Structure formats: structure tokens, C-alpha cells
């Protein structure tokens, strides 16, 4: 089954990055499923299984050099046409990462090239704007545009109050209330799923992410079955895919790793998610003000004036602490790596770690 690459999200930006690979006779493809050593990719000729070429593996120094679901890659199809070799990963437009399991802290990409991320919360008793704040930070780190989706509107006592509460977290982020019990309400999400647009969903377990995905692809069920029947390799059923092409445009990505994502790495995310605190902080007396006990703090002044809530500041500081902790862990990892490579001695490493643990550097 040939696939139109623009429907999959291919655009001039990726085409430009691909030019040198085109000269080498390679084809563009998008990763739709990741197993340990094998991938599924969509290319113009249809789907194929793919493995990472030896050269790419050889040059890969960190885990993020390997392909992830959503990545655009340069592949070489073999003569039979169903297995492909991945020679390169194109630069990513956005990426969601998590800390890889194991004793070293390592970044692992769980989804790439997402345009819009739905931050899903449930309007049942469990509704908690603090959790949305967290996901906003993750979204800003990734480079994808966040959209807040308040699901289970059928269970809400006061939908408008919740909408206001969510909208107040960040004025530039759209907020929608939907209910999977009334399928038409999900139509407000369709515009984000225009042709070639890639959407992913984040949110705690139980908020209704799977139900939303099923409803959004619902119209395609028949179509999906058609494809599967005409596909001689039917054992790779569409349900096992982590990247789904919708019938009327749009691509949905739902990977297990995305579901358990956490904060990673200090970056622009916090200031993006807490834009109003960032603006206030420009008027603090100290440039590195932590808004705790420093004199001349414009942020605490705003809390005193009632223009900023104490909860909002507290959750900002909690996330700041978490990021500082993670940054320290990453520093530790770098030091341990230095030791391993013989760049520093055991004594120096112990000294460094001790000074770090006693709070040598935090921000
Ligand atoms: P996930 O863990 O985020 O993927 O959540 P699920 O999609 O598995 O949904 C969790 C539960 O919430 C299921 O029992 C769904 O039927 C239910 N649910 C999902 N959306 C809605 C909704 O809009 N209204 C109500 N009342 N229940 C919903
Ligand atoms: Zn301050």
C-alpha cells in the first residue's frame, strides 16, 4: 500500500534535511513502531520492517542517536522490498524524552516530531491543576505545542469554572472540555489533526487517553480493517502500531514510554509553563532570585498582593527543586563517566560527589 508522505507529516523542512540522503539513493520513512532491535517504518512504498544499519550503530554514541517512534529516517529498501535498513535519523522538530531505566541516568526518546500534544485531565473528583502544570513543563521542554483537554465533562459539577482554572495556567494554551460519552464534543480536537499534523496525548492513567484515541480513530475502524485484510503480512495488525494514520488526516502517536513520562533536564520548560512568574522575576532585586527569602522579591510581593496564588508559586518551586535534583544526577553521571575513562581519579570523584551532595550547587 503506497503512502502519501505529506499525510504522514513530511514537509519541506524534512525534505531539506533529507537532500544529501536522496543523493545517496536512500528513501525517507517514518518510524511507526519500536521494538528492541527492530522498527516498523512507513515509506512511500508502504510499510516495512527496518533495522539500524551497522554504520549508524557504529557512530551512535548516545541512546538519542537511535531512531524513535515519530522519527523521520533515511532508509535503504532491500530488493524484496519488505525489510529496510535505517542509515540516518533526520533532525527532530520536537522530542519527548524520559530517563532510561538502569543505574545510569540516560535520556531516551519516546516520541519525536510531535506538532501538538493534548494534555489530558479528567473532570472527575481527581481534577488537579497542579498536575496539568507539570505536563505543561514537559510539553514546553519537548518543543510541541500544548493543548489542554479536560475530559469527562459529563462528570463535572461546574465545567466553566474548571475551564477558567485551566486557562489561567497559561494564557497562550488553548483549553477544551470534552466527553467521550458524547462523541461530537471531540470534534473540537479535529482541527489539530489536520493533514500531516502529528498529535500525542499526555496525562495520568485513567483520564481517558485510550478512549479519546479510540473515538478519534473510530471512524477509521472499517478502513483499518480493509488495510489489514489487503495486507498479506496481517500478523502486524494495526493495533500494535504506536503511530496511527487517521483516515481524514492527522497522525496519532501513543507509545508506552510517553505514558509514563516525567520531567527531564532543566531547560526552557519551566519558564514557558510559568510565564507570569518569569515576567515577575525580571523585577526581583537579585537576578538569580529563588523567590524564597531574598529581599526585594517581586514574586513574593505578587503573592502578598494577591495577584499570584501561593499554590502557584509553591508548585513552581517544587518543580524547580526537582529539576535541580535531576541536573545534579546528570552531573554525577558525567563525573562517573569521566572516572571510567580515566580523566579523573577516584579520590577526585569522591570529593566532587561529596560537595555536590552537600548542596554545593543547586540552580
Ligand atoms: P487512560 O488510562 O488515560 O487511557 O484512560 P482510559 O481511556 O482507559 O479511561 C479510563 C476510564 O474512564 C474508562 O473506564 C473509560 O470508560 C472512562 N472514561 C473515559 N472518558 C470518559 C468520559 O468522557 N466520561 C466518563 N464518564 N468516563 C470516561
Ligand atoms: Zn524573587
List pLDDT tens digits, range 230-289.
443 433 333 456 898 888 889 999 887 787 676 555 456 777 788 899 999 999 999 889
Of the listed ranges 104-108, 121-125, 198-202, the least confidently predicted one is 104-108
**Beta carbon of 181 within 6 Å of any ligand 1 atom:** yes
Nearest alpha carbon to residue 26 among 74, 72, 71: 74
Residue with cell 540516560: 106
Report pLDDT for 356. 56
Report pLDDT for 339. 72
Residues with Cβ–ion distance below 5 A, ligand 2: 284, 289, 291, 297, 299
Residues paired with 83 in a beta bridge: 49
**Beta carbon of 260 within 6 Å of any ligand 1 atom:** no
* 182 DSSP 8-state letter: S
Span from the CA of 291 to the centroid of ligand 2 (angstroms): 4
Instruction: Note the pLDDT tens digit of each residue in 306-353.
Output: 999 999 999 888 888 877 777 777 677 777 777 776 767 777 777 766
Take residue 107 and report the three cell numbers written for it. 535520556
What is the phi/psi pair of residue 263, to 5°? -65, 145
- Four-residue CA torsion sign, 235, 237, 240, 244: positive
Span from the CA of 298 to the centroid of ligand 2 (angstroms): 5
* 255 DSSP 8-state letter: -
When the pLDDT of each residue in the chain is averaged and rounded to a whole number, the result is 83
The yes-or-no verdict on residue 95 having pLDDT over 60 is yes
Model-level pTM?
0.77
What is the phi/psi pair of residue 40, to 5°? -115, 140
**Beta carbon of 154 within 6 Å of any ligand 1 atom:** yes
Report residue 52's pLDDT band, with 50, 70 and 90 as the boundaries: very high
- Report angle CA 295, 265, 275 to the nearest 5 degrees: 50
For the residues 71-75, what does the mean pLDDT come to? 97
- Residue 96 CA: distances (Å) to CA of 53, 72, 253: 24, 15, 11
Report pLDDT for 105. 65
What residues contact 240, with CB distance under 8 A and at least 6 apart? 33
Q: Which helix (H) or strand (E) holds 276?
A: helix 275-281
Q: Domains, the chain, ranges and CATH?
A: 5-89 (2.40.50.140), 95-254 (3.40.50.300), 274-357 (1.10.40.50)
Of the listed ranges 98-112, 131-145, 291-305, the least confidently predicted one is 98-112
What residues contact 183, with CB distance under 8 A and at least 6 apart? 215, 218
Instruction: Note the pLDDT tens digit of each residue in 181-215.
Output: 999 999 999 999 999 999 999 988 889 998 998 89
Q: Which helix (H) or strand (E) holds 313?
A: helix 310-340
What is the phi/psi pair of residue 46, to 5°? 120, -160
Q: Angle of helix 209-218 relative to helix 221-230, nearest 10 degrees?
A: 70
Contact 297, 315 (CB under 8 A): no
Give the best-scoring range by mean pLDDT among 101-115, 123-137, 325-339.
123-137
Amino acid at each position: 500500500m503506497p503512502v502519501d508522505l505529506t499525510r504522514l507529516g513530511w514537509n519541506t523542512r524534512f525534505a531539506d534535511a533529507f537532500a544529501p540522503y536522496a543523493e545517496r539513493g536512500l528513501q525517507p520513512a517514518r518510524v511507526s513502531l519500536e521494538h528492541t532491535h527492530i522498527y516498523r517504518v512507513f515509506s512511500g512504498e508502504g510499510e516495512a520492517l527496518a533495522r539500524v544499519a551497522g554504520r549508524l550503530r557504529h557512530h551512535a554514541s548516545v541512546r538519542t542517536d537511535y531512531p524513535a517512534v515519530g522519527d523521520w529516517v533515511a532508509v535503504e529498501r532491500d530488493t524484496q522490498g519488505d525489510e529496510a535498513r535505517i542509515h540516518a535519523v533526520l533532525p527532530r522538530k520536537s522530542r519527548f524524552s524520559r530517563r532510561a531505566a538502569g543505574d545510569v541516568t540516560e535520556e531516551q526518546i519516546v516520541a519525536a516530531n510531535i506538532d501538538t500534544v493534548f494534555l489530558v485531565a479528567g473532570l472527575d473528583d481527581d481534577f488537579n491543576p497542579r498536575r496539568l502544570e507539570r505536563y505543561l513543563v514537559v510539553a514546553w521542554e519537548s518543543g510541541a505545542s500544548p493543548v489542554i483537554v479536560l475530559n469527562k465533562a459529563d462528570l463535572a459539577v461546574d465545567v466553566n469554572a474548571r475551564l477558567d482554572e485551566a486557562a489561567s495556567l497559561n494564557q497562550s494554551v488553548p483549553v477544551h472540555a470534552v466527553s467521550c460519552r458524547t462523541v461530537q464534543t471531540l470534534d473540537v480536537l479535529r482541527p489539530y489533526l489536520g493533514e500531516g499534523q502529528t498529535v500525542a496525548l499526555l496525562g495520568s492513567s485513567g483520564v481517558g487517553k485510550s478512549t479519546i484515541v479510540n473515538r478519534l480513530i473510530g471512524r477509521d475502524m472499517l478502513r483499518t480493517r480493509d488495510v489489514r485484510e489487503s495486507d498479506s503480512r496481517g500478523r502486524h495488525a494495526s493495533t500494535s502500531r504506536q503511530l496511527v494514520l487517521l483516515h481524514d488526516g492527522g497522525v496519532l502517536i501513543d507509545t508506552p514510554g510517553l505514558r509514563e513520562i516525567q520531567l527531564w533536564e532543566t531547560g526552557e520548560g519551566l519558564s514557558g509553563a510559568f510565564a507570569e512568574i518569569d515576567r515577575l522575576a525580571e523585577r526581583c532585586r537579585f537576578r538569580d532570585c529563588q523567590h524564597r527569602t531574598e529581599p526585594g522579591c517581586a514574586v513574593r510581593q505578587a503573592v502578598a498582593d494577591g495577584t499570584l496564588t501561593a499554590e502557584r508559586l509553591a508548585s513552581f518551586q517544587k518543580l524547580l527543586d526537582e529539576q535541580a535534583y535531576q541536573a545534579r544526577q546528570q552531573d554525577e553521571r558525567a563525573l562517573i563517566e569521566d572516572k571510567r575513562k580515566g580523566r579523573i581519579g577516584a579520590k577526585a570523584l569522591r570529593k566532587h560527589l561529596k560537595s555536590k551532595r552537600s548542596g554545593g550547587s543547586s540552580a
